[in-house]
Amino acid sequence: MQAVEEGGGGEERNARFEENDLDLEISKLRGRWELASVLNFLDVFGPILGKDLNLSAEDIEIGLVKPDASLARLHIQLLKGIPPVSKTLEDSDKWVTALCKNLTTWWPWVAKGEIPLVPSKGVEISKYKELDPLDRLLLLKALCEVRAQQHDAVSYINDALKEGTQISTFRKDAVGRDGTGTSYWYDATSKGQSHRLYREIITSDSIPNDKDEECLSLPTIQWETLASNLEDFSKVAEKFAISKSAVEVAVSMKLQDDAIPALEKLRKKKERAIKQKQRQDMLLKKDFQNSHYSGNTRSCRTRRPISYTFVENHGSSEEDGVDGELGNLEAPSSHAVSYPKGVRCSKRLAGVPSHTILESRGLTAKQRLRQRPTRNSAMESINVSDSEDEAREGKRDLSEST
């Protein structure tokens, strides 16, 4: 028993360790401006990338740390817009090979340094999963740059600018910048699902120059994600509100006016969705328990035995409200109608068949006989003279007189 408990504790420690590693890797990714560029690209060019690509910033971060189906779907959607499109793009992990082939050509124009992954006869698929999350981020950032230079993306921007769309829609402006080289950037997706606050610090490093005996200054960019949820935005806004820097005070006002109300509305929406889901689960559970205790999962219905006889299917004449015809169709004599003596009327119109209907007749004959009325109720009380009936009556009178 003790060994089991120790094993369970070990699993919990491993889970906490993996969670801490995940948070650490995500914090490293949030310290790179390339991640902010990727998120902004996906928001700006969302209309041409497709409606199916619905990934949050957290989904992309987790996928970069631990490659999953969401990350693969993102790369496949981007690669579909870069010709030539590989026919095996939808196959399992074949998108990695297509990614390497495209970026090998474009890398010098869209990125710096050496490309982290090159095609190597399928080995690149396993190597991609072993890469550092930062290298996977660089590959994704380069792929977004290549996608932005395609014809449909360029036309999308030009058409939007001609219609009067502001350039700030495609190129973000800092919400605040002070004289020390510190800038603040606020980015929110068009659907309001993701909000981020970044801080950019630019410093200069001096490198000595032997020829001119002067120092060259190279800028160093330090990027930081200050807030990504409601709690973070509230803390930053409260901290900047009492700051001595006018830029930070302005940033605090911007957050209180735009970011915090939007995040509060988003949280309430998520809470309502969670409560509705819990309520539905409780109702389903309650219905299942009630049906389990009652012993019946559905209502019982009385079933009548099936019979293929005409009388049993149609019932008696009293049940159906018919004057007795349907229940006696089998007897040919049931069609005959009795009249008082001395009344002459047509027996043919009264419903007496002139000959027996054979079952072996063709379909056309059956349809023709079906159209002929078996009984004309309107003619019951009308005396109709018939040449055949008159001839019979005349012969009968002559025989009696003789």
- Three-state SS string across 251-271, please? HHHHHHHHHHHHHHHHHHHHH
User: Which amino acid belongs to residue 158?
Assistant: N
pLDDT band at 171 (very low <50, low <70, confident <90, very high): confident
Per-residue pLDDT, averaged over 139-163, amounts to 95
Mean pLDDT of 371-387: 52
Of 226, 250, 279, the last residue of a domain is: 279
Task: Give domain status of residue 367, yes or no.
Answer: no
Q: Of 237, 259, 279, which residue is a domain's last?
A: 279
Regarding whether 40 and 161 lie in a shared domain, the answer is yes
Which helix or strand (DSSP H or E) is residue 100 part of?
A: helix 95-110
In a domain, 198, yes or no: yes
For 69-100, the pLDDT digits (tens) are: 999 999 999 999 999 888 888 888 899 999 99
SS3 breakdown of the chain: % helix, strand, coil, rounded to 5? 55, 10, 35
Residue 377 lies in a domain: no
Please give the Cα distance from 36 to 289 (Å, whole number): 50
Clarify whether residues 129 and 228 are in a common domain: no
pLDDT at position 106 over 80: yes
pLDDT tens, residue by residue, 323-372: 444 444 444 444 445 545 554 554 444 444 444 444 445 566 656 656 55
Q: Which region among 98-102, 154-158, 269-273, 386-390 has the lowest average model confidence (pLDDT)?
A: 386-390
- In this structure, the answer to whether residues 113 and 228 fall within a common structural domain is no
pLDDT at residue 36 is higher than 90: yes
Q: Which of 32-41, 219-228, 387-396 has the highest mean pLDDT?
A: 32-41
Q: Are residues 50 and 160 in the same domain?
A: yes
Helix (H) / strand (E) containing 176: strand 176-177
Segment among 28-32, 39-43, 142-146, 358-362 with least mean pLDDT = 358-362
Are 128 and 29 in a shared domain? yes
For residues 136 and 41, state if they share a domain. Answer: yes
**pLDDT at 380 > cutoff 80:** no
Residues 105 and 224 in one domain: no
- Give the domain extent around 192: 176-206+218-279
Residues 247 and 188 in one domain: yes
381 lies in some domain:
no
**Predicted confidence (pLDDT) per residue in 179-189, tens digit:** 888 999 999 98
Distance of CA 36 to the CA centre of its chain: 27
pLDDT, tens digit, for every residue of 274-298? Answer: 999 888 888 888 777 766 555 555 5
| Cβ neighbours of 356 (radius 10 Å) | 7
Q: The sheet that has 195-209: what strands, in order across it?
A: 176-177, 182-188, 195-209, 214-227
Confidence of residue 375 (pLDDT cuts 50, 70, 90): low
C-alpha span between 136 and 144 (Å, rounded): 12
Average predicted confidence (pLDDT) for the chain: 77
pLDDT at 111: 92
Cβ-contact 186, 197 below 8 angstroms: yes
In a shared domain, residues 23 and 149: yes
CA 345, 350, 355 angle in degrees (round to 5)?
115
Is it the case that residue 38 has pLDDT exceeding 70?
yes
Statement to judge: residues 48 and 64 lie in one domain: yes
Q: Is 105 exposed, middle or buried (0-12, 13-18, 19+ CB in 10 A)?
A: exposed
The verdict on residue 79 lying in a domain is yes
Domain match, 162 and 184 both = no
Structural domain count of the chain = 2
> Is 399 a domain residue?
no
pLDDT at 143 over 90: yes
Helical axes 260-294 vs 230-241, angle rounded to 10°: 150
Specify whether 21 is located in the same domain as 136: yes
Domain boundary among 231, 261, 279: 279
Q: State the Cα angle at 251 between 249 and 253, rounded to 5°.
A: 70
